[in-house]
Amino acid sequence: MRSDSDLLLDVLDAIEAIEKYTYQGKERYISDELIQVWILHHLQIIGEACRTIPKKVQDSEPLIPWKGIIGMRNILVHQYSAVDSDLVWELVENELPDLKKNIERILNGC
């Protein structure tokens, strides 16, 4: 069984993997299928790690939208045909930076 810190590190590592390619901007993301798949894969990792983080940890961190993250993972895995590239880009651009800061904050307190 993986520790809470390991799961949080998985989230952080996946965010950093996404950042490797998102710096090139939305146009590059939209035009490059490999970048799209890379980002979707790492979003799935984030969602799966968050799904596995114990409820007591989730409850202690109300700033993190755990249910939304897990819900997005479920859509990516089970309703992949409904994935909207613009919505994914908005999430990457607007939500991941805050998630990264919160995960780093938690890890620094561990």
CA distance 85 to 96: 15
Of 2, 28, 42, 78, the catalytic one is 78
Q: Tokens representing 19?
A: 């950042």
- Is residue 41 part of the annotated active site? The answer reads no
- Is residue 73 part of the annotated active site? The answer reads yes
CA distance 76 to 44: 7
b/e per residue, 40-60, with b = 16+ CB within 10 A?
bebbbbbbbbbeebeeeebee
Of 28, 41, 51, 73, the catalytic one is 73
Report, as residue numbers or ranges, the catalytic residues.
Answer: 73, 78
